Amino acid sequence: MYAQLLIAASFAVASYSDVKERAVSDLVWIPAAAGVAYAVYWMYGNESAGSFEFFVLKVALIGGIALAFAFFGGIGQADAIAIAFVAADPYFFSPLAPLFATSAVALVHIGYEFAAGNARGGRTIPMEQFLKEQRWIPKAIVSDGTRTEVSSDVNVAREEVVAASKPGAMVDVRYGVPTVAYLGAGYVIYLLYLLAFNYPAFAGLP
Dump the DSSP string for 155-166. TTHHHHHHHH--
Helix, strand or coil, per DSSP, at residue 141:
strand
Q: Are residues 56 and 142 in the same domain?
A: no
Secondary structure letter of residue 192 according to DSSP: H
Residue 46 has pLDDT above 80, yes or no: no
pLDDT for 124: 92
Q: Are residues 28 and 77 in the same domain?
A: yes
Q: Are residues 51 and 98 in the same domain?
A: yes
Q: Are residues 171 and 183 in the same domain?
A: no
Using alpha carbons only, give the angle 157, 99, 152 rounded to the nearest 5 degrees. 15
Q: Are residues 86 and 187 in the same domain?
A: yes
Q: Is the pTM of this model over 0.85?
A: yes
Residue 50 has pLDDT above 60, yes or no: no
pLDDT tens for each residue of 77-133: 999 999 999 999 988 888 899 999 999 999 999 999 888 877 777 889 999 999 998
Helix, strand or coil, per DSSP, at residue 120:
coil
What is the amino acid identity at position 151? Answer: S
CA 206 – CA 189 distance, rounded (Å): 19
Indicate the number of domains in the chain.
2
76-80, 91-95, 136-140, 147-151: range with lowest mean pLDDT: 91-95
CA 137 to chain centre: 15
**Contact of 165 with 127, CB cutoff 8 Å:** yes
Using CA atoms in the order 191, 195, 199, 205, what is the torsion angle rounded to 10 degrees? 30
The residue segments making up the domain with residue 71 are: 2-115+177-203
CA distances in angstroms from 42 to 45, 94, 143, listed in the order given: 5, 17, 57
Q: Are residues 16 and 40 in the same domain?
A: yes
Q: Measuring CA to CA, which residue among 72, 2, 70, 79 is closest to residue 36?
A: 2
Model confidence at 47, pLDDT cuts 50, 70, 90, reads: low
Q: Are residues 30 and 111 in the same domain?
A: yes
pLDDT tens for each residue of 5-26: 999 999 999 999 999 888 899 9
Q: What average pLDDT does range 145-162 have in this prediction?
A: 90
